[in-house]
Amino acid sequence: MRLSRIAVMGGGPAGLYFAALWKRRHPEDHVDLFEQNPEGATWGFGVVFSDKALDFLRADDPETEQAVSARMETWRDITLVHRGARVVLDGVGFSAVGRLDFITQLTGRARSAGANLHFGKLVRSVDELAGYDLIVAADGVNSLVRRSHEGDFATSLSYDHNKFAWYGTTRRFETLTQTFVETEFGCFNAHHYRYSPTMSTFIVECDRATWLRAGFAEKSEEESKALCETVFADTLDGHPLVNNKSVWRNFPWLWNDRWSHRNMVLVGDALHTAHFSIGSGTRLALEDVIALVNALDGEPGNLRRALEHYEAARRPVVEKLVKAARTSAAWYERFADHMKLAPLDFGYSYITRSGRIDDNQLRAMSPHFMARYDAKSMTPIHS
């Protein structure tokens, strides 16, 4: 059966990118995208990519990569702030772009390719999508498509213990920075990086015990923001935090053992989640889309076989990244314990947390940091 009518659920990066990519390759097909929020409404602030994360776009879709890269903020180092000391991890390149800016670009590309974008359209039941040859579920962690068939997708869901809230700030940070502070309530961490010349993302994280002692369970969104501004007053240097649905959450670990069911297929956060500490969520979503489109093109007359090929090609890659993300998240679940280390030891613990890099690789990637670390390690200890 040839695909001629496709429904895409979700107007985030994955859904918009699928609509744009498919219509560019198949201009004669009918693609409807449904997004319950109005156009231009989005939560969050910046979307971050590692240097390696952009390689797949350069290889598979250089036109989109060039359009996105032109709007990005880039830097070459990560900075850790611990016990008032700044530990620079050189050679760890990242780029970031505003989430709304990114979605606006993808919206324009999907619309210009000829996709029908239905913003402010709430689909209440999968039954409303009868008549489509394919339904692409790009509607996030709370996916209607997946929730309607969780047994068939073999869905599992669990949550981390740590609490986090996602803010923005008008302070510009020169690198992706992790700031760790100890307070009367317990230890806090902030992940912060600029995504435009005038704005930065600022994610605040702490363990549940600290969150409870600080009284966040009873605080309003504004009261929580005010306390976080106090906790990170030195880091913010007089700049305010900015709310945008900045409620306290626990990170959700979502996985599906089956990636498709009948004519429905999952991509992005509807399929899997990866902890924000490795900056791969959007990358995984866009790579899912490229793999899905390639699989569908490779089996134009057999939808079932195409969806099987999609899962077979992507699953090993996704499993590897999700495993690394879980290992990274486990480090953050105990970051207060790691803060007992001296700054350079803390930096080494941080950069090796995912288990994907050894000392020799580190010396090649971050020669200045490792020179300092190796020199410290060789310093004799006198009793």
pLDDT tops 60 at residue 238: yes
What's the number of domains the chain is made of?
A: 1
**DSSP states of 2-62:** ---EEEEE--SHHHHHHHHHHHHH-TTSEEEEEESSPTT----SEEEEEHHHHHHHHHH-H
Predicted pLDDT at 103: 93
Q: What percent of the chain has pLDDT over 70?
A: 98
Taking only the tens place, the pLDDT of each residue in 312-351 is 999 999 999 999 899 999 999 999 999 999 999 999 999 9
- Indicate if the alpha-carbon torsion angle 280, 282, 288, 294 is positive or negative: negative
66 lies in a domain?
A: no
Query: How much is the average pLDDT of 2-13?
Result: 93
CA gap 259, 265 in Å, rounded: 6
166 lies in a domain?
A: no
Domain that holds residue 306: 5-43+99-158+252-332
Question: Using a CB cutoff of 8 Å and minimum separation of 24, what contacts does 127-132 make?
Answer: 129/7, 129/9, 131/5, 132/5, 132/6, 132/7, 132/32, 132/263
Query: How much is the average pLDDT of 202-221?
Result: 98
287 lies in a domain?
A: yes
pLDDT tops 80 at residue 56: no
pLDDT tops 50 at residue 191: yes
367 lies in a domain?
A: no
222 lies in a domain?
A: no
Q: CA of 133: how far to CAs of 1, 31, 114, 127, 215, in Å?
A: 8, 10, 18, 13, 51
Which CATH number belongs to the domain containing residue 277 in this structure?
Answer: 3.50.50.60
Predicted pLDDT at 380: 54
Helix axes 51-60, 281-298, angle to 10 degrees: 20
pLDDT tops 50 at residue 383: no
Task: Write down the mean pLDDT value for the chain.
Answer: 93
Q: What percent of the chain has pLDDT over 90?
A: 80
237 lies in a domain?
A: no
Q: Which two tokens stand for residue 33?
A: 């995208």
Taking only the tens place, the pLDDT of each residue in 146-167 is 999 999 999 999 999 999 999 9
pLDDT range class, residue 177, cuts 50, 70, 90: very high
226 lies in a domain?
A: no
The answer to whether residues 148 and 139 touch, using CB atoms and an 8 Å cutoff, is no
Query: How much is the average pLDDT of 184-192?
Result: 97
Q: Which two tokens stand for residue 381?
A: 């200890």
380 lies in a domain?
A: no
Query: How much is the average pLDDT of 54-81?
Result: 84
Query: How much is the average pLDDT of 94-109?
Result: 91
